[in-house]
Amino acid sequence: MARYIVRRLIWALLMLIAVSGVVFILFYVFPSADPAQLRAGRQANEDQIEAIRESLGLDKSVLEQFWIYLKGVFTPLDLPGTDSTGPLYLGHSYQSNADVKDVIVSDLPATALLVFGAVIIWMAVAIPTGIISAIRQRSLLDRSTMITTLVFISAPVFWLGLVALYLFAQDVGVIPVFPGIGSYATADTFLSKCASMILPWLVLAAATAAIYARYLRSQMIDVMQEDYIRTARAKGLPEKRVIGKHVLRSAITPIVTLLGLDVAVLLAGNAILTETVFNIPGIGAETFNAIKRSDLPMIQGITLFGAFFIVTLNLVVDIVYAYLDPRVRYE
Amino acid sequence: MEASQFREEREAPVGGSAELVGSDFVVPLRSPWRLFWDRFREDRLALLSLAFIGLLVLVAILAPAIVSILGAPDPNARDTAALDPLFATPTGPSADHWFGIDQLGRDVFSRTVYGARVSLVVAFAATALATVFGVVAGLLAGYYRGWTDTVISRFVDVLLAIPYLLLATGLAAACTLGQTSGGGGAGCLGGLIEPGLGVVIFVIAFTSWTYMARIVRGQVLSLREKEFVEAARSMGASDMRIVFRELLPNLTAPIIVYASILIPQVILYEAALSFLGVGVGSDTPSWGQMISEATPVFADAWWYMLFPGLALVFTVLAFNFVGDAMQDALNPRKRRS
């Protein structure tokens, strides 16, 4: 087990360096736009742009720039010459000159509340729906559930958000029951923050709940054809026990893996659409603002931060798996 | 998995009829495509969806003709006289403007009709590009194994570790920056990819080919050990011939199924990018961008968000139904609905 963990740790570290490299190439080498001019703004003259080019280190070779960038991200200490504040130095915003890392840290709570609430809702909906559909396979209930889920999968989340607000928001809704746009920012207690999240939670959970319900259903149908399920039935176990213990247990394992990855991706900023529609001051909304202001270091920093999050969560999932299933360790 | 099942299905009439030899019973030989179509046809919803998609393609191609025949205004024409006389806000559906108008007085109906163009062009082009990327990468990784496989598979791992929506919006924004902020040249890869449609297609394809590559690689790993590959090799076939003439045809089924699943995802993806303001330019109407423009006024001008939204839902739903039915038709043992 210890050897396995060490191996996975080394692999995760290599992965982080590789991800930094890819993000660097994509944001520095791919675009044709000149970062110095972006930083300088529209009214800058040649000398100012030249000065900025030097201060950003853009006059150095690409490899040198990458090395400086890597040092900023991975060195655990302050570096002379940079005003970095320790590890994970992701640069400064072109617009507000704020440290990208500080901005991310201050945005994280809103995103976390959004994602974890949505997770609880989508799991609570998806698991019973998937089970019932699988047991009553091809019944009218199953067919209509599967079509409904497909409708939710097919609706763009940002549009679903607008429709939900139009119908249920307290300020503009036809049936004003839930707090509307921007209510998170004005909420002061945890409970009122949660209330302001009800619509965003439902909207963010809708598509994922549908995907999970369909996935669980097809997993269960597969498992129900296994020999050991027939054995369990043959030895006279009650159906409840066969489904609850034998089928569900192995059908739900891949869902847990999926869940780990989805949570990581959403926390990493993929909730951008929901946050934008509901004006929730989280990581996704920050990215949206950065895009509007052409704030390249901010976009890049958030992307890299998100990747770190995904790699770390994958590492945790892998280790938990190895603990649960010893076979994995010897692969 | 899908490929081998597909092949077994084709061989089934021959192998399965062993005990029938000598009897009068003859199993009609049907081509695999015929079998596939027969099973697909059973799904009424999928047939209906296919018809809808066909209609949509026609609408997209004939958009200018349709708009002028129906007497609707040009999608970019600004009918400022139709704006609310007091507040200059958009007005709802009327005889002149069936779906109402937006803040600039543009006709929502003709913009919705024209919007089908961007959605479908991006859907087919980005899916095709992602499929080619993914299939070639998967074939090479699975066939050559060793270092080639390591490099390709690790690269896929790295890409999957980056939140794709952020990567795509960031990349699309970065590729369009030079244009909007006066930061020198615009586009990507030294002007090879131009801002607008090109960037959108490239960015979506670049972040969508990874699963295709994984699926194809997995299939090739087992297919390459089959006798027919050995036979081809012993006859002196080159690697390229084995990969593209022997292995690739056997992968048609999973490739088509996965591509058909990818299309609706790509349509939603394009809409999301347009919504975030990094899609095709604003003179080209697109559904995602219309919803984005409708956001500040959605509480009053419900028509502006409703119609492009419904167009998106129906289109994506139709592609999803077709994709599902294709998957079922190729995997009769694993019916989903």
Query: Are B201 and B122 in contact, with CB atoms under 8 Å apart?
Result: yes
Q: Please report the pLDDT score of residue A167 as a whole number.
A: 92
Residue with tokens 């992968």: B251
Residue B334 has pLDDT above 70, yes or no: no
Domain boundary among A54, A74, A94: A74
Count up the domains in chain A and report the number: 2
Residue B129 to residue B176: CA distance in whole angstroms: 20
Domain that holds residue A301: 103-324
Cβ contact, residue pair A294, B173, below 8 Å: yes
A181-185 long-range contacts (CB < 8 A, ≥24 apart) are A181/A277, A181/A278, A181/A279, A182/A278, A182/A279, A184/A110, A184/A278, A184/A279, A184/A280, A184/A281, A185/A279, A185/A281
Residue A87 has pLDDT above 70, yes or no: no
Query: What mean pLDDT value characterizes chain B?
Result: 83
Q: Does B331 touch chain A (CB under 8 A)?
A: no
Same domain, A162 and A27: no
Residue A95 has pLDDT above 80, yes or no: no
Candidate from B162, B268, B299 with C-beta closest to A156: B268
Tokens of A278: 């509901």
Query: Are B182 and A295 in contact, with CB atoms under 8 Å apart?
Result: no
Looking at 3.40.1390.10, 1.10.3720.10, 3.40.50.620, 1.10.3470.10, the CATH number of the domain B42-68+78-334 comes to 1.10.3720.10
Same domain, A16 and A112: no
Residue A28's pLDDT band (cuts 50, 70, 90): confident
Q: Please report the pLDDT score of residue A39 as a whole number.
A: 67
Residue B109 has pLDDT above 80, yes or no: yes
Residue B313 has pLDDT above 50, yes or no: yes
Q: What is the pLDDT of residues A129-143, one digit of tens each?
A: 999 999 998 899 999
Which are the contacts of B67, defined by CB distance < 8 A and separation ≥ 6? B73, B74, B75, B110, B113, B114
Beta bridge partners of B209: none
Q: Please report the pLDDT score of residue B84 as a whole number.
A: 78
Average pLDDT over residues A290-313: 84
- Whether A129 maps to a domain, the answer reads yes
Q: Does B170 touch chain A (CB under 8 A)?
A: yes
Residue of A17, A30, A318 to mutate when probing chain B, most B C-beta within 10 A? A30
- Whether A272 maps to a domain, the answer reads yes
| CA of A164 vs chain B CAs: smallest distance (Å) | 11
Average pLDDT over residues A1-5: 83
Domain boundaries, chain B: 42-68+78-334
Average pLDDT over residues B31-47: 86
Residue B53's pLDDT band (cuts 50, 70, 90): very high
Domain boundary among A18, A53, A74: A74
% chain A with pLDDT above 90: 34
Q: What is the CATH number of the domain that holds A232?
A: 1.10.3720.10
| Minimum mean pLDDT range among A59-68, A263-272, B6-15, B149-158 | B6-15
Residue A101 has pLDDT above 50, yes or no: yes
Residue A69 has pLDDT above 70, yes or no: yes
Q: Judging by beta carbons within 10 Å of its beta carbon (0-12, 13-18, 19+), is residue A188 exposed, middle or buried?
A: exposed
Candidate from B188, B278, B324 with C-beta closest to A32: B188
The closest of B299, B323, B308 to B270, measured between CA atoms, is B308
Candidate from A38, A150, A299 with C-beta closest to B170: A299
Same domain, A265 and A119: yes
Ranges A47-61, A74-88, B30-44, B76-90, most confident = B30-44
Q: What is the pLDDT of residues B272-306, one digit of tens each?
A: 999 988 888 777 889 999 999 998 888 888 899 99
Which residues in A lie closer than 8 A to residue B165 (C-beta atoms)?
269-270, 272-273
Cβ contact, residue pair A162, B170, below 8 Å: no
Residue A109 has pLDDT above 70, yes or no: yes
Q: Is the ipTM of this complex over 0.90?
A: no
Candidate from A165, A277, A303 with C-beta closest to B170: A303
Q: Does B278 touch chain A (CB under 8 A)?
A: yes
Candidate from B158, B189, B292 with C-beta closest to A19: B158
Q: Please report the pLDDT score of residue B333 as a whole number.
A: 57
Residue A52 to residue B102: CA distance in whole angstroms: 42
Q: What is the pLDDT of residues B206-245, one digit of tens each?
A: 999 999 999 999 999 989 899 999 999 999 999 999 999 9
Q: Please report the pLDDT score of residue A151 as a whole number.
A: 94
Residue of A32, A149, A174 to mutate when probing chain B, most B C-beta within 10 A? A32
Which residues in B lie closer than 8 A to residue A291 (C-beta atoms)?
169-170, 173, 276-278
Same domain, A277 and A173: yes
Average pLDDT over residues A297-325: 83
Residue of A291, A312, A314 to mutate when probing chain B, most B C-beta within 10 A? A291
Q: What is the pLDDT of residues B163-198, one digit of tens each?
A: 888 888 888 877 776 544 444 455 565 556 666 788
Q: Please report the pLDDT score of residue A229 as a whole number.
A: 92
Same domain, A138 and A34: no
Chain A residue closest in CA terms to B199: A31
The closest of B111, B274, B315, B167 to A158, measured between CA atoms, is B274
Q: Please report the pLDDT score of residue A92 as a whole number.
A: 78
Same domain, A60 and A197: no
Chain A residue closest in CA terms to B263: A154
Q: Please report the pLDDT score of residue A1 as a whole number.
A: 77
| CA of A165 vs chain B CAs: smallest distance (Å) | 8
